[in-house]
Chains A and B, each alone.
Chain A
Amino acid sequence: MKAAGVMILLLLAGSAWSAPGFDLARLMQLLSETPSSEVSYVEKKFSALLSQPVVSSGTLVYRRPDVVEKNMAAPRKEGYRIAGRELTITRNGTKRSIAISAEPLLAASAASLRGVLSGDAKQLGEYFRLALDGTEGDWKLQMTPIDEEVARYVQRIVVAGREGRVREIEVHEASGDRSVLTVN
């Protein structure tokens, strides 16, 4: 009796865990069907040093297949553009380019953004262990870095969304600091 009850519970839990037809492959398919986009965002930074979070805002741009831009407008203008093999930083009026492959942390960050936005599970899997949670209408993808070099700085990244759209990106740093980026 007891065993059967546990079985039923497990089955129920299992079906709730992953609704029929929704898994990583399905999520990636949804994401890959989403067209290029430009959205505004608000990011909150939480740190042990801070009495209240630092808030910044700007726009996020994604152009298929591999261009991601984060244009911060407040508290000051800073631009980050990932295109091809390069990251271009515009800050204090000067532009600087870095090869993405140079630093594992940079490579992992670029892969996390481009992999999610383009629905490329292979790219994500190269740098992260993936765990999907939720339903098509409200999913959460947890990404844990594989590389030690990356894990020294980033503990995990959690991306939340609805169908093919990303709603929130939360980065947990190894230092205990945390940032939450919300797309409007």
Chain B
Amino acid sequence: MPPRSSLARYAVALAIFAALCLYASRAVRIEADFAAFLPPSATPEERLLVAQLREGLVTRLMLVAIHGGDERALAQASRALAERLSRDPTFDYAANGSAGQFAAQGEVLMRNRYALSADVTAERFAVPALRAALEESLAQMASPAGILTRANVARDPTGEFRATLARARPAAAPARRRGVWFSADGDSAFLIAQTRAPGFDSEGQAAAMARVRAALGEAAPQLKVTLSGPGVFAAESRRLIRADALRLGMISTGVILMLLAFVYRSALAVGLVLTPTAFGLLAGVLVVQAVFGSVHAITLGFAATLIGESVDYPSYVMLNAQPGETARGAAHRIRSTLLLAVLTTVASALALTFSSFKGLAQLGVLTMVGVAVAGLTSYALIPWLLGERLLQFPSLRVPGGDAFARAQGLRLAAIAATLIAVGWLAATHPDWWEHDLANVSPIPAAMRAEDASLRRQMGAPEVSVFLASRGSSEAAALEAAEAILPALDRWQAAGLIRSYDSPARYLPSPSTQAARLSALPDNAALEANLRDALRGLPYRAEAFAPFVADVAAARGAAPLTRAAYAGTPLGTKVNAQVIALEGQWLVLTPLGGVADPSAVRAALAKLPNATTRLVDLKEVSTGMLESFRHEATRQALMGVALICVLLAAGLGSIRRAFRVAAPVAAALPITIALLVAAGQRIGVFHVVALLLVLGIGLNYALFFERPAANETQRERARLAIALCSVATLITFGILALSATPVLRAIGATVALGAAVCLVLAALWAAAQPTDRELP
């Protein structure tokens, strides 16, 4: 037990910590919008891409497959589930392919068929065309297939409703059995549910998934359900990352605690080792909250990783204490090295704070504050807490660098490895950078592939290439989208595109609607034409009174707007495809089956109007990552320059600064080259991890380079470095075992990087003359 006065000091420290925790739990707002980790968007296309990735229609599609029963049971469950989910406020709608499922939407199309149908012209209501239409209806009367079409014949003898409906139908749809969507093999019934929560809202998505499972549990508990879709994957991957991080975190915490207990043989010391990191993380979170107004969940996760380096600081202080020396004495002795270790990490994190990724900027601030506070805690708080108390450590003999020192060959090998790594990376640059934004997503590639195949099978839209038609108003944008419809039909016929889904089909521009409606004849003219057309046909004279009434109503109707579709699947779609963006309006026309986007772009360039542009999301995402790469490189160089200045100033000698920086500078390309050789592509997560490697590596180099007064000091310094590096290797080595790509990338990068740094720093230090006095 520590003495009484010391006990009071622990109580003070604990009370401050508890108060800060309490404050943080109330003040800090955690956000989960993953767009914070996407590059900022410079061009309108990029903003569009981010919007699509975050909350686009496609991200809100949940694909539901019911299986584990016979066809009848599956069809029944599909109907019951669609009915329940459509009533659920969690969903915009749930479609299962059954006819008449969206009566309200059908009614909108029926009521506005004359504004919607491209076939509406004055000739269509003249005697010859009417006569032909009536004769066709008569033939339909005799046909067994007519049972479906006959229902509307009195209102719509010219078939405008059917024509409109045919156009609103998606290009591809699953096969149907018993009136609902089924997989081709008939083993599962399909539904498509549109969630209200955007795809990135993994909590909202998880709640929606639970609703589906609960609804099916009520309707058909014996059946099974498989859920898929971008939102589902976001929720699933978050759950996986969480579970993985928790499990691996607990394993590595256990191992690290055992390691600390073995080295320190004191519960107090183990507790003290954790203090700086706890204070640092807490202070960092509070500052980020104050600066940014919220803390991103991913920032928090990564920050715990980044300031993991600070776990090393107390060990450097306590283990460097010589026998009989207090922690205060040791802290005082190594303060300049510790200060440099902290400042170089702050400098590398400073580069992050200038990042235009909001998430990375947050991460930079959190790391800077966290590391600084942890350093201060290690330097001041721990010695204050320990007071005059001396910590006794068993003498652990760490194999020294003597063996290394004699191994001239190893040093040559290290230099050769560095040169090869640099040369290879330079030659293959920029192939080893991540090009596809989709791969930056934490969702495993296999899951994404499964989703894509399901989506194809269900005919759900895939948004990768689309046309964006621009206008100063909604009407102007719709006109621009309408203007390319003939070209789209030509391209489809020519096989340039497989399908397209233009909102102008079900939301024509006001001028087009007005033109169509003005082509409708007035009552007297229509009645006269109808009388002539009916002559000699076996229809009752008043049979088509509903038709005349509907045409009259259409002539006087207000233009069809987006609002008319409210609460229907088409309404959801129109709202996603007709959008206001920075004072302008955009109409998006997704294209399906585009084999060669550049061919479509060339064809588009030949059209007279220039208000429509092709947006290829893959291309845009590549561009965004390229600009990220440039930014990251620039900021990394800035950080490196700053670190060099700090080292030179702190060590008071350019030669010593070089001795510290060189092994780390060599370790980074070797680490990257090893990662790339192992098949990884360097993305945002790797860059963050490499920054940690930089911080840790500099610490090793600094403490290796620190001149020792005697053999005991040297041995203590070696013990401190050994403990820190073994702890890092264990923590991140375990993380590298994770099944989640993000965690695996960070774990592998840091573990590998730390190992390379350690070896190079040791080799480098061993190469230096050893017996020098303290500066």
| A positions within 8 Å CB-CB of B | 43, 45, 47-56, 70, 72, 75-76, 78, 80, 89, 91, 99, 101-105, 107, 109, 149, 152-154, 173, 175, 177
Task: Give 13 A-B contacts (CB < 8 Å), ordered by A residue.
Answer: A43-B142, A47-B141, A47-B150, A50-B543, A53-B538, A72-B142, A75-B138, A75-B142, A91-B143, A101-B178, A149-B99, A149-B179, A153-B147
B137 (CB) vs chain A CBs: closest residue: A49
Chain A residues lying within 8 Å of B538, measured Cβ to Cβ, are 50-54
Q: Mark B136-149, 1 if CB is under 8 A from A, else 0.
A: 00110111110110
Residue among B147, B178, B539, B541 with most chain A CB within 10 A: B147
- Of B145, B539, B544, which is within 8 A of A89 by CB? B145
Q: How far is the CB of B325 from chain A (nearest CB, A)?
A: 86
CA distance A72 to B143 in the complex (A): 9
Chain B residues lying within 8 Å of A55, measured Cβ to Cβ, are 142
CA distance A177 to B142 in the complex (A): 12
Q: Are A109 and B144 in contact (CB under 8 A)?
A: yes
> B219 within 8 Å of A by Cβ?
no
**Residues of chain B from 150 to 201 with CB closer than 8 A to chain A in the complex:** 150-151, 153-154, 175-179
Q: Are A177 and B539 in contact (CB under 8 A)?
A: no
Q: How far is the CB of A43 from chain B (nearest CB, A)?
A: 7
Q: Are B539 and A49 in contact (CB under 8 A)?
A: yes
Q: How far is the CB of B530 from chain A (nearest CB, A)?
A: 13
CA distance A105 to B147 in the complex (A): 10
Residue among A43, A47, A109, A173 with most chain B CB within 10 A: A47
- Of A53, A70, A72, A153, which is within 8 A of B148 by CB? A153
CA distance A152 to B179 in the complex (A): 13
Chain B residues lying within 8 Å of A80, measured Cβ to Cβ, are 144-145
Chain B residues lying within 8 Å of A89, measured Cβ to Cβ, are 145
Closest CB pairs A-B (n = 8): A56-B142, A49-B543, A102-B176, A101-B177, A54-B141, A52-B538, A104-B179, A51-B540
**Residues of chain B from 528 to 544 with CB closer than 8 A to chain A in the complex:** 538-541, 543-544
B154 (CB) vs chain A CBs: closest residue: A49
Q: How far is the CB of B697 from chain A (nearest CB, A)?
A: 65
CA distance A43 to B143 in the complex (A): 10
Known A49-B539, A149-B179: A70·B144 in contact at CB below 8 Å: yes
- Of B139, B178, B541, which is within 8 A of A104 by CB? B178
17 other A-B residue contacts (CB within 8 Å) besides A104-B178, A109-B144, A152-B100 = A47-B150, A48-B540, A49-B540, A49-B543, A49-B544, A50-B538, A50-B543, A70-B144, A75-B139, A89-B145, A99-B176, A99-B177, A101-B177, A102-B177, A103-B99, A105-B148, A154-B147
Chain A residues lying within 8 Å of B179, measured Cβ to Cβ, are 102-104, 149
B543 (CB) vs chain A CBs: closest residue: A49
- Of B100, B144, B153, which is within 8 A of A49 by CB? B153
CA distance A19 to B141 in the complex (A): 39
Chain B residues lying within 8 Å of A47, measured Cβ to Cβ, are 141, 150
Known A70-B144, A101-B178: A51·B150 in contact at CB below 8 Å: no
Q: Mark B99-133, 1 if CB is under 8 A from A, else 0.
A: 11000000000000000000000000000000000
Known A50-B539, A153-B148: A107·B142 in contact at CB below 8 Å: no
Q: Are A45 and B142 in contact (CB under 8 A)?
A: yes
- Count how many chain B residues have C-beta atoms less than 8 Å from C-beta atoms of the other chain: 28
CA distance A76 to B141 in the complex (A): 12
Q: How far is the CB of B162 from chain A (nearest CB, A)?
A: 15
Q: Are B138 and A173 in contact (CB under 8 A)?
A: no
Q: Are A76 and B139 in contact (CB under 8 A)?
A: yes
A57 (CB) vs chain B CBs: closest residue: B142
- Of B71, B98, B178, B540, which is within 8 A of A50 by CB? B540
CA distance A22 to B175 in the complex (A): 43
Chain B residues lying within 8 Å of A173, measured Cβ to Cβ, are 147
Q: How far is the CB of B316 from chain A (nearest CB, A)?
A: 73
Q: Mark B497-513, 1 if CB is under 8 A from A, else 0.
A: 00000000000000000
CA distance A43 to B142 in the complex (A): 8
Q: Mark B62-99, 1 if CB is under 8 A from A, else 0.
A: 00000000010000000000000000000000000011
Known A50-B540, A102-B175, A103-B179: A175·B151 in contact at CB below 8 Å: yes
Chain B residues lying within 8 Å of A104, measured Cβ to Cβ, are 178-179
Chain A residues lying within 8 Å of B175, measured Cβ to Cβ, are 99, 102
A43 (CB) vs chain B CBs: closest residue: B142
Chain B residues lying within 8 Å of A70, measured Cβ to Cβ, are 144
CA distance A47 to B149 in the complex (A): 14
Chain A residues lying within 8 Å of B100, measured Cβ to Cβ, are 152
Q: How far is the CB of A38 from chain B (nearest CB, A)?
A: 18
CA distance A103 to B97 in the complex (A): 11
CA distance A16 to B483 in the complex (A): 74
Q: How far is the CB of A137 from chain B (nearest CB, A)?
A: 29
Chain B residues lying within 8 Å of A76, measured Cβ to Cβ, are 139
Q: How far is the CB of B102 from chain A (nearest CB, A)?
A: 15
Q: How far is the CB of A41 from chain B (nearest CB, A)?
A: 12
CA distance A102 to B540 in the complex (A): 35
Q: How far is the CB of B548 from chain A (nearest CB, A)?
A: 14
Chain B residues lying within 8 Å of A52, measured Cβ to Cβ, are 538
CA distance A173 to B151 in the complex (A): 10
Q: Are A50 and B144 in contact (CB under 8 A)?
A: no
Chain A residues lying within 8 Å of B151, measured Cβ to Cβ, are 175
Q: How far is the CB of B332 from chain A (nearest CB, A)?
A: 84
CA distance A164 to B732 in the complex (A): 82
Chain B residues lying within 8 Å of A43, measured Cβ to Cβ, are 142
Chain A residues lying within 8 Å of B541, measured Cβ to Cβ, are 51
Chain A residues lying within 8 Å of B139, measured Cβ to Cβ, are 75-76
CA distance A75 to B142 in the complex (A): 8
Q: Are B150 and A103 in contact (CB under 8 A)?
A: no
Chain B residues lying within 8 Å of A50, measured Cβ to Cβ, are 141, 538-540, 543
Chain B residues lying within 8 Å of A56, measured Cβ to Cβ, are 142
Known A50-B538, A51-B538: A45·B141 in contact at CB below 8 Å: yes
Chain A residues lying within 8 Å of B543, measured Cβ to Cβ, are 48-50
Q: How far is the CB of B734 from chain A (nearest CB, A)?
A: 53
CA distance A59 to B527 in the complex (A): 39
Q: How far is the CB of B674 from chain A (nearest CB, A)?
A: 56
Chain A residues lying within 8 Å of B71, measured Cβ to Cβ, are 101
CA distance A147 to B142 in the complex (A): 25
Chain B residues lying within 8 Å of A54, measured Cβ to Cβ, are 138, 141-142, 538
